[in-house]
Amino acid sequence: MSDDSHRLKVMFDLSIVPHALGGVSRYLTSLWKALASTAPDHDIEILPVDVPAAHPGVPGALSKSVRLDDPFYLRIPYLRRAPIRLGWEQRSRPMRLSALQTGCDLYHHSGVQPFHPPGSLSVLTMYDLTAIEHPDWHTAETVCFAEREKAMLLSGSAAAAISGWTAERAVELLQLDPLVVRPIGGAADDLFTPGDPEPDIMAKHILAPGGYLLHVGNFVPRKNIPFLLKAYSAARKQSGFDLPLVLVGAGGWGGIDPQSSEGVTVLRGIDDSDLLQLYRGARALMFPSQCEGLGLPALEALACGTPVIASCAAALPETIGGNGVLIEPGDEDAWVGEMTGISGDGRYAELKDLALKASYRRRTWTDVAAALCQFYRDLASE
């Protein structure tokens, strides 16, 4: 390790986590946990920061984050009207952030908090650009966040991309310097490992081990869930096919609100301990997304040794890496064929073997954190 004169001081903003659902929240919290233990090995002092003004009325991500509290005038009912109208709080954030830790070298942004201390380098996490390219797949709020991030990138912020595909797309679409866009990847949490599912969890959800297909992800347009349900309905008409389909998700928008129908079970609010058992018990993960910047459910399923049948869109070929099946996201016949095929022992054994091999050579969040630390160092040395 080098001496303190070469130590980088990094502020890592977690203000987006209270807004985020599904993969974004899981990605950031997992990355932070790994960074907290990995950064010191790279001579990096890292401080988690929360800006409550970026998520008013919603608790922050970490109880031990350093909070950038609101200025005193926002706590006075009548006095605060003019400052709110004039945007004083937002404009004062850079200097107030600077006061939290003297000598911040680099500020890793939350997508909802675009300000950083004067003189510090600016980095943000780039998930994908679908809110820019396909705003109809997202809420107006998400599109607003994406436009803000785009403006930050065009004005000099660097980007830690969650996949090589995302990095390449950002460079191409926004005409960015490749040196300031670095793919750092992602990983499944250490929790997700191969094993037999717990009988109590299977019984609770009325499922048989190895006896159901699984989809994990929020009920949003780009997940292609209506197509999945259509293909599944067609598969159920095939002789001998009777595997249930389990949809695990949280929020939803864009008219995507799947209801239980013949053979389909919808599970909401599933915690990680139950999710682990659902992955372990699944015949296969079905993942027909139209676009994924990474695809954490695919990584989690493979970490559990669960076969993955996914679309060949966006980052999924990179994420799955030859360890599962890739299909065009709109090819109904191919999806029906894989659903019925996986119900047979031969195809299941073939894909199970691929998944188990992937689980043994998996990437970890420590690997991701180390790649991010190296990116910090490279940016600081330029």
Q: What's the one-letter identity of residue 194? A: P
Q: Tell me how far apart the alpha carbons of residues 232 and 382 are, in angstroms, rounded to a whole number.
A: 52
pLDDT on residue 3? 44
Window from 32-41, 60-69, 204-213, 242-251 with minimum mean pLDDT: 60-69
Q: Tell me how far apart the alpha carbons of residues 242 and 341 are, in angstroms, rounded to a whole number.
A: 12
Q: Tell me how far apart the alpha carbons of residues 345 and 332 are, in angstroms, rounded to a whole number.
A: 22
CB 247 within 8 A of CB 229: no
Window from 140-149, 312-321, 330-339 with minimum mean pLDDT: 140-149
pLDDT on residue 341? 97
The answer on pLDDT for 256 being more than 80 is no
The answer on pLDDT for 252 being more than 90 is no
The answer on pLDDT for 124 being more than 90 is yes
Of 121, 307, 132, nearest in space to 210 by CA: 307
Q: Tell me how far apart the alpha carbons of residues 87 and 183 are, in angstroms, rounded to a whole number.
A: 35
The answer on pLDDT for 5 being more than 60 is no
Residue-range domains of the chain with CATH: 4-187+365-381 (3.40.50.2000), 199-360 (3.40.50.2000)
Q: Whole-model pTM above 0.85?
A: yes
CB 340 within 8 A of CB 235: yes
